[in-house]
């Protein structure tokens, strides 16, 4: 029998109400066991807050502005009700539920009134995602409205959460793997391995149900289906990387570009971004390069695409990202920022998965199969000074730092670990002043935890924002900071509180970018508060002029390197 969406919403509600992991796993496993085969993947995706499987290129493309307009239309409720509820919980889904309850709308009891099933919800989501192009907006809205109109308050809560992609039940992918293992009586490591390989636990669950352990053991990579990326952790420096990798490691230039996964079968090439989006169309010259140089019939490769100037010198990453954003736009070739590909890994070659091979072996195979495409520059060493020189050389060549990859390590899709470490020399920290703050979300919804950071403009004496961060402070410090900022509050607008410039904080960051977002035209990337500088007065904070100096220095060859 078809399973109702209501049952799924109730399950999610129960998940959100407990923190007991084993209990959560049991509940989900029980739920999965009773599903029909075609319901399994949609249910798994939805429980994880996804409308579609992870590798799918379908996206809903609906903004909160659109969703909130629709909620207003359906319920006809004063929006203050929503804002109050949101203020209390910090959760958009819960606030939607309150609005739906409050409206007590007798849902349009049509002749066909019936409960929504999981399959129907998936079909609606597909229809919404498929509505693209000119004149699609209204149609999309109508589809969403039709779906939400059938929903009970609890169902609406979870539909909205799926729309915005955030469940907040605490039930994540790792737990889902355990639930699938329990539901279908399959060893956890078989489930995990299959999930890494095809990159979607929903599909793994379907195979587990229909073909059991044998089916999962047979799972292989599929060309044109993006594989989850292996991710790196930050290391303090070269010494730490050497120690972590047991004395000797493979250092590589860390290029400041965009990660790409390149799939090729015969003459067809597709390129996926870090977020596993198909970006083939925005990188035609990289497609050409791959076609010309790679003779193997079937491969999955990884590398970094960087933007370069007319001398081939790397230019900041944001220039390249502009190209990704214009994925669907047809652009003038002359306008294109030249892009260059460097490869660093190979996952799959002619029907064979290579991910269990040691990294050094994969690099060898990579080098043998990519013709003239350059690899990221590499140095395998156990010598600290040699590695330090290599780092300096990378920075001097305009790159970001180094990656250290454990020479004997396999490729672990979707896993962030210490086998890959990134080493970036930090830019000197700035002392900045907090001029406004926003309430956080979830656990932090009553705390001012997101801070606008400003530097002083010597000319006008004004404090101008150069960035925003919610990172770096402990809970206790945030609570203390909330108190302190409330005392100097000037006005409150929505969830933002403007304060008099009093508190100085030391901020680290990776880069200063050009940005239209702030009046000063610059923005810190990856800002993080490293400490509160109560010993400093706002007048002593760093100036806009200083920020600009550092911004400009970044472009000088040696600008990014800070001698230790």
Where does this chain bind ligand AMP (CB under 6 A)? 232, 252-255, 259, 274, 304, 344, 376, 403, 422
* H/E element, 299: strand 298-307
Query: Smallest distance from the beta carbon of 403 to ligand AMP, in angstroms?
Result: 4
Given the complex with ligand AMP, which of 259 and 548 has the nearer CB atom? 259
In eight-state DSSP terms, residue 444 is G
Strand partners, 536: none
Q: Catalytic: which of 254, 264, 340, 424?
A: 254
312, 315, 273, 515: which is closest to 400 by C-alpha? 315
DSSP 480-498: HHHHHHHHTEEEEETTEEE
Residues counted in the chain: 564
* H/E element, 211: helix 201-217
Given the complex with ligand AMP, which of 101 and 511 has the nearer CB atom? 511
Query: Smallest distance from the beta carbon of 213 to ligand AMP, in angstroms?
Result: 33
Query: Smallest distance from the beta carbon of 257 to ligand AMP, in angstroms?
Result: 7
Helix locations, 462-543, DSSP H: 475-487
Given the complex with ligand AMP, which of 219 and 507 has the nearer CB atom? 507
Query: Smallest distance from the beta carbon of 423 to ligand AMP, in angstroms?
Result: 10
Query: Smallest distance from the beta carbon of 233 to ligand AMP, in angstroms?
Result: 9
Pairing, β 522-525 against β 504-508: unpaired
Given the complex with ligand AMP, which of 422 and 531 has the nearer CB atom? 422
Given the complex with ligand AMP, which of 9 and 232 has the nearer CB atom? 232
199, 240, 224, 180: which is closest to 355 by C-alpha? 199
Strand partners, 345: 302
Given the complex with ligand AMP, which of 241 and 437 has the nearer CB atom? 241
200, 238, 216, 223: which is closest to 55 by C-alpha? 200
Given the complex with ligand AMP, which of 232 and 366 has the nearer CB atom? 232
Given the complex with ligand AMP, which of 81 and 365 has the nearer CB atom? 365
Query: Smallest distance from the beta carbon of 409 to ligand AMP, in angstroms?
Result: 13
475 and 440 Cβ atoms separated by less than 8 Å: no
Cβ neighbours of residue 478 under 8 Å, at least 6 residues apart?
A: 440, 444, 447, 448, 449
Pairing, β 231-234 against β 258-265: unpaired
Query: Smallest distance from the beta carbon of 316 to ligand AMP, in angstroms?
Result: 14
Query: Smallest distance from the beta carbon of 231 to ligand AMP, in angstroms?
Result: 6
The CA distance from 322 to 308, in Å, is: 14
Query: Smallest distance from the beta carbon of 406 to ligand AMP, in angstroms?
Result: 13
Strand partners, 450: 438
Strand partners, 299: 264, 349
How many other CB atoms are there within 10 angstroms of residue 17's CB atom?
Answer: 10
Token pair 């040699």: residue: 386
Token pair 């100085």: residue: 504
Annotation marks residue 254 as catalytic: yes
Q: How many helices (H) does the chain have, and how many strands (E)?
A: 19, 19
User: ∠ CA(328), CA(334), CA(339), 5° rounding?
Assistant: 70
User: ∠ CA(366), CA(371), CA(377), 5° rounding?
Assistant: 55
Given the complex with ligand AMP, which of 118 and 373 has the nearer CB atom? 373
Cβ neighbours of residue 354 under 8 Å, at least 6 residues apart?
A: 346, 347, 348, 362, 365, 411
Residues noted as catalytic: 254
């Amino acid at each position: 029998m078809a399973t109702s969406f209501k049952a799924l919403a109730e399950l999610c509600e129960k998940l959100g109400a407990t923190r007991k992991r084993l209990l959560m796993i049991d509940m989900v496993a029980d739920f999965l066991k009773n599903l029909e085969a075609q319901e399994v993947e949609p249910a798994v995706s939805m429980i994880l807050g996804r409308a579609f499987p992870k590798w799918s290129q379908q996206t809903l493309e609906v903004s909160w502005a659109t969703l909130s307009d629709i909620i207003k239309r359906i319920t006809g409720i004063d929006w203050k009700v929503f804002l109050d509820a949101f203020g209390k919980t910090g959760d958009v889904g819960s606030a939607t539920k309150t609005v739906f309850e409050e409206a007590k709308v007798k849902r349009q009891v049509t002749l066909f009134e019936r409960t929504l099933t999981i399959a129907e919800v998936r079909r609606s989501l597909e229809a919404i995602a498929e509505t693209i192009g000119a004149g699609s907006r209204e149609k999309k809205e109508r589809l969403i409205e039709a779906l939400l109109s059938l929903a009970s308050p609890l169902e609406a809560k979870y539909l909205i959460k799926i729309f915005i992609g955030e469940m907040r039940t605490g039930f994540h992918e790792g737990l889902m793997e355990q639930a699938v293992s329990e539901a279908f009586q399959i060893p956890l490591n078989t489930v995990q391995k299959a999930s890494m390989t095809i990159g979607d636990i929903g599909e793994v669950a379907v195979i587990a149900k229909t073909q059991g352990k044998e089916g999962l053991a047979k799972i292989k990579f599929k060309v044109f289906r993006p594989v989850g990326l292996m991710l790196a952790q930050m290391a303090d420096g070269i010494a730490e990387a050497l120690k972590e990798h047991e004395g000797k490691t493979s250092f590589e230039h860390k290029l400041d570009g965009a990660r790409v996964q390149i799939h090729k079968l015969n003459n067809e090439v597709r390129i996926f971004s870090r977020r596993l989006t198909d970006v083939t169309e925005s990188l035609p010259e990289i497609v050409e390069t791959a076609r010309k140089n790679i003779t193997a019939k079937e491969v999955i490769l990884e590398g970094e695409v960087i933007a370069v100037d007319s001398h081939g010198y790397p230019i900041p990453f944001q220039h390249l990202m502009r190209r990704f954003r214009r994925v669907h736009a047809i652009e003038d070739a002359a306008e294109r920022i030249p892009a260059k590909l460097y490869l660093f890994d190979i996952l799959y070659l002619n029907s064979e998965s290579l991910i269990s091979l040691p990294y050094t072996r994969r690099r060898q195979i990579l080098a043998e199969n990519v013709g003239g495409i350059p690899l990221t520059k590499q140095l395998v060493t156990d010598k600290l000074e040699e590695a330090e020189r290599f780092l300096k050389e990378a920075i001097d060549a305009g790159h970001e730092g180094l990656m250290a990859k454990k020479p004997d390590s396999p490729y672990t899709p979707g896993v962030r670990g210490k086998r890959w470490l990134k080493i970036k020399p930090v830019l000197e920290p700035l002392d900045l002043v907090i001029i406004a703050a926003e309430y956080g979300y979830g656990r932090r919804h009553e705390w001012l935890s997101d801070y606008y950071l400003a530097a002083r403009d010597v000319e006008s004496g004004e404090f101008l924002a150069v960035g925003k961060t919610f990172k770096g402070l402990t809970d206790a410090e945030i609570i203390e900071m909330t108190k302190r900022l409330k005392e100097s509050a000037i006005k409150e607008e929505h969830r933002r509180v403007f304060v008099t410039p009093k508190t100085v904080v030391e901020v680290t960051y990776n880069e200063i970018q050009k940005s239209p977002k702030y009046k000063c035209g610059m923005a810190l990337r990856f800002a993080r508060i490293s400490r509160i500088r109560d010993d400093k007065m706002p007048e002593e904070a760093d100036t806009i002029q200083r920020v600009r100096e550092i911004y400009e220095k970044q472009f000088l060859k040696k600008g990014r390197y800070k001698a230790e």
